[in-house]
Every structure is written in C-alpha cells, then in structure tokens.
Amino acid sequence: MTESSEKRTVLSVKNLTQRFDDNIVFEDVSFDVYQGEVLVIVGGSGCGKSTLLKIMIGLQKPYAGQVLYQGTDITRASDEALNEYRKNIGVLFQSGALFSSMSIKENIALPLQEYTDLDADTIDRVIRMKLGMVNLAGYENHNPSELSGGMKKRAGIARAMALDPRVLFLDELSAGLDPITAVELDDLIIKTNEALGTTMVIVTHELESIYKIAHRVLMLDKEARGMIAEGRPLELKENATDPRVRSFFLRQLPENQDEQRFYAD
Amino acid sequence: MTTPRNIDGQDGYQVSFQKENESLLISLKGEFGLKNLTAFTREIRQAVSGHAIPTLTIDFSQVKYLDSAAALAFVQMEQEAASRKTNCHLANLSEEARGIFSVIHPDVLTRRPFKPEHTGEGVVQQIGQASLSIGRDFVNFITFIGDLLSALAYTVTHPATLRGKDVLFYVQRAGVDGLPIVILIGALMGLIMAFMSYLQFKQFGANIYVPTLVSFAMIKELGPIMTAILVAGRSGSAFAAEIGTMQVNEEVDALETMGFDPVRFLAVPKVLAAVIVVPILTVYADVSGILGGLIIGVTTLDLTFKTYISQSIKTIQVFDVVTSLIKAAVFAGLISAIGCQRGFQVRAGAQDVGKFTTSAVVAAIFLIVLTDSIFAVMLYYVKRYSVFA
C-alpha cells in the first residue's frame, strides 16, 4: 500500500453491535477497510474477533449496525445481493475448510466452474497459476488429507483467491502452525498483497506475524465490549497508553493484575 | 479496425486493433478480468489468427483493472505467439499490472502433478479390490469382536470400571426413544398380517387360525427381526456416526493416550445397552403385533376378544418366547458391535463418516438375516432332540 495515495474505502463497518440474548459481544464498533491494506484484528479470546469476521462475510446477522460494501449494507442485503458480494470476497477458514471429498484441484475449480464461463482448459490453467502463487504447484491431484497443516492453509488461500477477490478474509491465519510455516505464510500474504493489491482482513494473535504483515491493527477487548485501539502495530507497541493494549503488544500481564489473573483462572 | 464496447459498465472493456505494415498493435481499454475473460480472449484470438504477424504489441496503458486470470490469459497469448515465431510484446504495463504478472510463473503452468489424476480401475482390478476388501473386512470384524469380548470380560471381572451412566444413556437412546416406532410398526405388521391371512383363510373357513398365524410369526420371526432392523437403522448408525466423528476429531486417539481402551470406553456401554434393550423392545413388538391382529380379528373376523387371545396363548410356547429373546439379544450384540467397529474404521473426513455409517446399517441388516437363518436351522434340531419336544 502506498502511503501517499488517497485511501479508498472498500468496506465500511458502522456502529456494529452484536449480542446473543443478554450477552453483549461488542457494541458500537465502527471502522473502515481501505483499498489494498492489510488490516489485522486482534484481541484476547472471547473478544468477538471471529464474530466480527463472520458478520463482515455475511454469515451472521448483527444485532445492530451496518457493513457497507459499494454502498450496499450487506447485513440487510437480499440473498442475491449477498451472493454478488460473496463473489467479490474470499475467505480462509481457521482449518482451511477444504472439502475433504475433493482433490485440491476440484476444490479450487468449484467457484470457477460455478461463477465464470471459462472452459475446462482455462480453468485448469488458472488453477495451476493459483497453486503456483501459493507454492503448491504440482499438488492438484492430492487430497486435502494428504497435505500438512500449512499446506492446507495455502491451498485454502488458493481457493479463496480463485475468483480474484477484492477483499480476502483470513481467520486465525497462523494458529497451530510451526514458526517456519507461519513465516512462509506471512511472506505469502505480503507477496500477494503487494503483487495483486488484494485488500486483506486478518484475524490473528501471533505478535510476530502482526508486526510483519499488518499495515493497521484494530484491537477489540472483551471487557470494553468493543474497539480499544487502532493504528500501526509498532506505534501501538511504543506509544499506547492503555494498559490492555500495552500488555498485549508487550506480551505481559497488566501490572498488579498478575495475581488476580492467577487466582481468577 | 476497432471493436467498440461499452466501457461504462462494471466489466466494460474495449479492444482495438491497428495494423501497420508488418506489425499489429492491440490497445486495451477498461477492465479485464474473470468476468469478460472468455469474450476478450476470443476477440483477440480471432484478430490474430489466420495471418502471419511478425510483431505483436499489446498496449496496457489504458487498462483500469486487471486480475490475475486475465494476466494469465495474456501470458498464454505471449507463449502462443512465440510458438508462431511472432515477436510479442506487452507494453506500458502499470506498476500494479507488473505486480500481477510477477506472480505468474510460466514453468508452473506446465509442471506435471506429483500424483496422477485418479482414474477408475478396470473390471478385473475392481473385482480383485472388492474381494480383498471383503476379506479384510471379515478379518477386521473378527478382530474387533475379539477385542470387544476381552473388553467385556474385563468389565465383568472389574464391574467398577463400567461406565454405568453411559449404559443408562444408551438404554434411553436406543430403547426408550425407540419404543414408539417399534410399537407402531409392530401393531401395523400384526394388522396387515391378520388381514392378509384372513383373505386366504376365509376360503376354507379357517378364520380361527388367523390368531395362531399372527402370534406364531410375530414371536418366532417378525418381532425379533423387525425390532433388530429398526434398532440397526436408529442406533447402529448413530453408534457408527458418533465414534466416527470422535475418530475424526482425534478424541479416540486422546482416549488411547490417556490410557483408556477405546473399545472398553466407547463400545462396551453401547453393546451392553443394546443387549439389555433390544429383547425388551422385541417383547413390545410381539405384544403390539398380536394386538394389531386382534383389531382385525374382532372387527373383521367375527372372533371374540376372548377367543382371539386364547387362540394366541395356545400357540405361544415358552421355548419360542425364550429363544426369540435370545435371538433378539444376539442381534443386538451384532448390530451394536458392527456399528462401533465401523465407527472405529473412520480415518478422516466427513465423507468417511457417511460411508461407514451406511456400511454399519447394511452390514447389520445382512448379519441379522444371516444369523436368523442359522437360528432357524439350529432351533429346529434343538427342539427335536431336546426335552421340549
């Protein structure tokens, strides 16, 4: 993302509130996602990161608020409008969510066959290109069960990227991966973002990876029931005054809370 | 020549061709992506094919949007041109377009897959595979029965290790919850049987034998078999799906590493519950079958309630009732054992769970029928040479 160019908003989240019965997950969360940026959503367990992501991809309806994409509120959109929106986004689920009954090739071919008029040869070439992009060239006939965790994620990214989405959502990007695989994945994200200019919204809590890939970080907090910080990751680490933000980025328990935490758990 | 296109729309684009001496200039304008890929590639191919062009230049200066699939198509055109000895040049690429072209590695497009595409086997091979898998299946099942029996023996000698709560849970699932359907089907079967036999018997004026037929058939064969098939469909499949899903979630592995024997922990309660519950269900099925027949007997056959019942009781022998219950218990053991065994066979994935659940039900029904025929022959000789004769 070039700093100087004026920021074009791709997605706009406005006053989003989600609650289940009496349990308020978050209240009044507003932010914009800009064209070409890598936005990372962080926060402790149970702060509603994944819920927020699910609302942004239209899997869950919020209690109140809007998510605007090209002027349409996708939280209240008709099924057709929502489907149209979904062709413009790609989602990588936590465990890859590759269809286990299909080969990697068939997994990636699915959206291409369904949503484009490409012939079989072209689809085949597009699949090879996508697999090449995620460094999985040659694995098209493998089954998901034959791939390692990191490879599954990369194949998941290839499937999510099949339709060249404008926005790519990635849930728990490097959770459960070894450090080297995680670094590879980070590099892949950076490379893809720089080359294709794909806007990315990532949920993660791997600090290393956040410093490396994030252009901007949003932090949610369970007690605050909403957003408590926003900014560039290094700035947040160095300048944040909020103890919760500081403790997250410095990887420490908040002062004088050590003992409380210990006994509370 | 130019081919104008509406470029106001979302996927609007325009391709114009300019021919100068030996070279062709193709100017692109607008958005190029998956949506219009087929259209613009066809257009360019048509213009390029047919005549030899020494130099081909594709001008990207007015491209507003390009996605990786479109870039791939241009890379391919470049390659095709090279094969025709045409000098092809992609001109005026913007920074973004350059980035997109950078992710396309031409060698990747032609690389052979590490694994060949899965193709179907020949008939001979399929027959061989099928025979092998039947053999393997048999060995697996026998091994599992061995495991199960040793686990049961352990449970009998160490009753404290039995998870009583689990047994009660499955007693409720397989038994109490299944009772209504067993009673309903039993009653309907008795009713149908009585009505059908009445249609035949009335020709000889042998109406009085309808209760005999109904109670004899229900107790000896239909009651146990029907109950067993219902339990196979309701509970055998549930056992397979439950253990299969645990297998997928690595819960079975977790049990094993914690030092529990998965068979003892998961299969024994289910098998015990089934063996307790299926004979009881069979009694309900028998009784409701006879009562179903009674409805026809009283309403259509002009038999009194008392005659019908006394005819039925005259037919029923203790030997038949006892063997029928033993048969039901054996069926229960088989159904639950095969359900659990199929569950443990699941390796990975949702498809496996479905496959083995289906197989659990099919195999259970097959075993029910097979064991029933064995029982039929065996009981005949037992009765003939025993004190019951």
Q: What is the model's pLDDT at position B355?
A: 93
Q: Tens digits of per-residue pLDDT, A128-171?
A: 888 888 888 888 888 888 888 888 888 888 898 888 888 999 88
Between chains, do B114 and A196 touch, taking CB under 8 Å as contact?
no
Q: ipTM higher than 0.90?
A: no
Between chains, do A141 and B67 touch, taking CB under 8 Å as contact?
no
Please check whether residue B127 touches A, CB under 8 A.
Answer: no
Separation CA B186–CA B217 (nearest Å): 12
Q: What is the model's pLDDT at position B9?
A: 45
Q: Delineate the domains of chain A, giving CATH numbers in brackets.
A: 1-88+203-265 (3.40.50.300)
Residue A4 has pLDDT above 80, yes or no: no
Between chains, do A125 and B72 touch, taking CB under 8 Å as contact?
yes
**Cβ-nearest to A129 among B35, B99, B109:** B109
Which residues from A are below 8 Å from B67, CB to CB? 164, 196
- Shortest distance between the Cα of A22 and any Cα of chain B, in A, equals 32
List Cα–Cα distances, B362 to A16, A213, B190, B201, B339, in angstroms.
51, 53, 25, 36, 10
- Shortest distance between the Cα of A236 and any Cα of chain B, in A, equals 30
Q: Tens digits of per-residue pLDDT, A42-94?
A: 887 778 888 888 888 888 888 888 888 888 888 888 888 888 888 888 888 88
DSSP A5: S
% of chain A with per-residue pLDDT over 90: 5
Q: What is the model's pLDDT at position B254?
A: 86
pLDDT band for A96, please (50, 70, 90 cuts): confident
pTM comes to 0.70
Q: What is the model's pLDDT at position B343?
A: 95
**Cβ-nearest to A125 among B76, B103, B105:** B76
What chain B residue is nearest to A106 in terms of C-alpha separation? B117
What chain B residue is nearest to A166 in terms of C-alpha separation? B67
Do the beta carbons of residue B99 and residue A194 sit within 8 Å?
yes
Separation CA B54–CA B223 (nearest Å): 86
Please check whether residue B248 touches A, CB under 8 A.
Answer: no
Q: Tens digits of per-residue pLDDT, B178-192?
A: 999 999 999 999 999
Q: What is the model's pLDDT at position A226?
A: 83
Enumerate residue ranges in chain B where pLDDT < 70.
1-11, 51, 387-389
Please check whether residue B66 touches A, CB under 8 A.
Answer: no
Q: Which residues belong to CATH 3.30.750.24 in chain B?
A: 2-110
Q: Which residues contact A136 (CB under 8 A, 6 or more apart)?
A: A104, A151, A154, A155, A158
Please check whether residue B111 touches A, CB under 8 A.
Answer: yes
Please check whether residue A129 touches B, CB under 8 A.
Answer: yes
Q: What is the model's pLDDT at position A6?
A: 65
Q: Tens digits of per-residue pLDDT, A218-248?
A: 888 888 888 888 888 888 888 878 888 888 8
- Shortest distance between the Cα of A192 and any Cα of chain B, in A, equals 8
Please check whether residue A35 touches B, CB under 8 A.
Answer: no
First to last CA, chain A: 42
pLDDT band for A1, please (50, 70, 90 cuts): very low
Which residues from A are below 8 Å from B72, CB to CB? 125-126, 129
- Shortest distance between the Cα of A250 and any Cα of chain B, in A, equals 34
- Shortest distance between the Cα of B361 and any Cα of chain A, in A, equals 22
Beta bridge pairs of residue B25: B18, B57
| CATH class as words, domain B2-110 | alpha beta
Q: Tens digits of per-residue pLDDT, B192-216?
A: 999 999 999 989 888 889 999 999 9
Separation CA A103–CA B78 (nearest Å): 30
